[in-house]
Amino acid sequence: MKSTILLLPALLSLLFVSHIFGTNNPKELGKVQWQRNMDDALTLAEAGNKPVLILFQEVPGCMTCQRYGNVVLSHPLIVEAIETYFVPLAIHNNKGGKDKAVLDYYKEPSWNNPVVRMVGADKKDLLPRLSANYSPSGLVAYMIQGLEKLNSTVPTYLRLLEEELLAQEGSLEKATLSMYCFWTGEKELGKIEGVVATEPGFMDRREVVNVYFNPSLVGLEDIVTHGSEVGCGDVVYTYNDAQRKKATRKLGAGKVKESKSFRIDAEPKYYLSKTIYQFIPMTPMQAMKANALVGLGKKPESVLSPRQIIMLRHIKKGKHKWRSAIHADDWQFEFYKRWQEVAKAV
């Protein structure tokens, strides 16, 4: 079975309506528009050539269940991926009737923490069940594994999201590099694999870029080397002894200093801020990658999700009155707010 990964025009209006937005869901189900009947979900799966993503969830539930709904199942890009590439089905694991029948069929325990299964239209498991992992990255990785199992193309934005979430949930590190122009620095340092976010600003009366990176994917030495090669690493400000030793081996003691107070620039993501893409709410990593692409003279659509592309089309019509999303305090809130406006305009 091959999953349909493109949004068909005929389904767009349904997606818009459905995503205003799981508004009546209990908190344990997040913002996903779930099917609640197994037979209906299987019919949709066969018609759309998609797998069914089943959430076995306690409703009302414990704090773990509530957090899973409020955090994991309310992340805009996770919600979009679930609704786009799968048929979402919620089964209450503490209810009788049809919920209990599905629970018994899959031998799932009652009154349990969240469990996710991926099944075909024949009700057979496509992957082992996802349990005891209640992290956003765990569900994203599970969806990616499912798409790969079905030989479907995994969209770039979903892979970036997995990398970003893993870094946020793990041992994310920070270093600060100074340079002649932090706008160029954001562009150049944002291209490095393993870097998940950047911030331009001022430290020690210098233009600098804070670099947030996943040390399991890229080392500080590699970041410093790349920065030096492109003129974006005159001095490195470090945050611990281990970083200081690594940077000193690359640059020498004279170019390595302890971090000082930081003041962010008024125009972060400079290249992105000069385009209409600034109005699309993005994750920090998406914004970093999009900024780097624009700075290289390329279009950033490759790192956007289908719904973000639809927002872009709305923006091009010139009917929006949105502020730049780059400066938004909460990009997820802005995503839902702006998506709702787009839905009403369809």
Residue 54 pLDDT more than 70? yes
Instruction: Give yes or no for a contact between 28 and 60, defined as CB atoms under 8 angstroms apart.
Output: yes
- Is pLDDT of 283 > 50? yes
pLDDT in tens, 90-127: 999 999 999 999 999 999 999 999 999 999 999 999 99
Q: Is the pLDDT of residue 23 over 90?
A: no
Residue 13 has pLDDT above 50, yes or no: no
Check residue 21 and give its pLDDT.
58
- Of 12 and 121, which is predicted with more confidence? 121
For 286-336, write each residue's pLDDT tens digit.
999 999 999 999 999 999 999 999 999 999 998 888 999 998 999 999 999
Tell me how far the alpha carbon of residue 79 is from its chain's centroid. Answer: 10
Amino acid occupying residue 192: I
DSSP code of 125? B
pLDDT in tens, 154-195: 999 999 999 999 999 998 999 999 999 999 999 999 999 999
24 touches 15 (CB < 8 A): no
Q: What angle do CA 102, 134, 98 make, to 5 degrees?
A: 15
Q: How confident is the model at residue 28 (pLDDT cuts 50, 70, 90)?
A: very high
Question: What is the residue-averaged pLDDT of the chain?
Answer: 92
Confidence class of residue 22 from pLDDT cuts 50, 70 and 90? low
The pLDDT, as a whole number, for residue 82 is: 98
Residue whose structure tokens are 């496509």: 126
Q: What are the structural domains of the chain?
A: 9-154 (3.40.30.10), 170-264 (3.30.1060.10), 270-345 (no CATH)
- How confident is the model over 59-96, as pLDDT tens digits? 999 999 999 999 999 999 999 999 999 999 999 999 99
- pLDDT value of residue 20: 53
Whose CA is closest to 256, among 273, 289, 233?
A: 233
Check pLDDT > 70 for residue 18.
Answer: no
Please report the pLDDT score of residue 171 as a whole number: 86
pLDDT band at 7 (very low <50, low <70, confident <90, very high): very low
Residues 142-150, mean pLDDT to the nearest whole number: 98
DSSP 26-93: -GGGTT---B--HHHHHHHHHHHT--EEEEEE-SS--HHHHHHHHTGGG-HHHHHHHHHHSEEEEEET
Confidence of residue 12 (pLDDT cuts 50, 70, 90): very low
Give yes or no for residue 19 having a pLDDT over 70: no
Render pLDDT for 217-240 as a digit per residue (tens, 0 to 9). 999 999 999 999 999 999 999 999
Question: From the CA atom positions of the chain, what is the Rg in Å?
Answer: 22
- Interior angle at CA 344, CA 85 and CA 42, nearest 5: 30
pTM (two decimals): 0.91
pLDDT band at 17 (very low <50, low <70, confident <90, very high): very low
Look up tokens 């620095």; give the residue.
185
